[in-house]
Structure 1
């Protein structure tokens, strides 16, 4: 039981400087993940919770974070409003997501869809960012506000713009809790 409670509230400590809403959304998200893995005899209860989660987080709070998203430890949400994450996205440990960000797949000219992005550990994603397609964002990358990312981003890169271009590299010896990592020019 302690392990389950620790799992549900794991994001609480990294979001205490953000808002109670961020902490609550992530606790509800982790609970929704547990509900989808619940034993078969609890399927009805899990379904009811899934609908409640969708209504509360998706419709009322404006955050689309499906329980199927693979998220590592200690996700940080800054505001979170208008956040849209594709159900097949993979997000690593100690990542930060800001408001009005979209992470999703692309539709090809033949009508098929690409896979969703894979985001590494310690990635800091700014506000109003769009990350699309079967791309990989490397560990310790920083995505600047308003960036449109449609190609892989190497580990430690700082990118911004539309389309996103590498502006520098992060000094990866900085602490994962540093709000604005030190940058070195390329």
Structure 2
């Protein structure tokens, strides 16, 4: 039972400075992940989470999204995350952010982004397509990210471009010229 509660409330402490809304949505998200593994009639409870998060708080964070521990939602309002997205541990996502797939030229849909650990995402950010955001990256407010972001990079703009690398160990071949 203790492990269950630890799993459900794993994001609680890192969100103590954000809002009660973030804490409630994330603990409900984690509980829904567990409930989705139950047999059919019981897993219907996951729909209550979706109604709760989407209608009351305008946060689309499907229960089957893969998210590491200690996710921080800063002002989580107007957040949209595709269910096929993967988000690492210790990430921060701010309000009005969209993370998902895109429609390709042939009409099919791409896969969704894979976001590394310790990534900080500013407000009004759009991250689309089959891309990877490296560990310790920072995505500036208002950025439109449609290509890979290396580890330790700070990106901003539309389309997002690297404006700085925060580590001398980063791959300098990514720097825009």
* TM value normalised by structure 1: 0.88
2:72 to 68, 73, 76: 76
Match of 2:147 in 1: 151
Conserved 8 A contact 1:156-1:170: yes
Q: Alpha carbon RMSD of aligned pairs, Å? A: 1.3
Q: Which SS does the other structure have where 2:11 is aligned?
A: coil
Q: CA deviation at 1:171?
A: 4.8
Give the match for residue 42 of structure 2: 45
- Looking at structure 1, the residues matched to 122 and 160 of structure 2 have their Cα atoms a distance apart, in angstroms, of 12
Structure 1 segments, 4+ long, off by >3 Å, are none
Gaps of 5+ in 1: 173-185
Matched, 1:139 2:135: yes
In the alignment, the residues of structure 1 paired with residue 152 and residue 47 of structure 2 have an alpha-carbon distance, to the nearest angstrom, of 38
Contact map agreement 1:11 1:27 (CA 8 A) in 2: yes
Q: How many angstroms apart in 2 are the aligned matches of 1:132 and 1:143?
A: 13
Match of 1:107 in 2: 103
Tell me the CA shift for residue 67 of structure 1.
Answer: 0.5
Structure 2 segments unaligned to the other structure (5+ residues): 169-176
C-alpha separation in 1, matches of 2:94 and 2:77:
8
- Is the partner of 2:4 in helix, strand or coil? helix
TM-score (norm. length: structure 2): 0.93
Is the counterpart of residue 161 in structure 1 residue 133 in structure 2? no
Superposed CA offset, 1:54-111 (max 9, x none):
1110111100000110000110000100000000000000000000000010101111
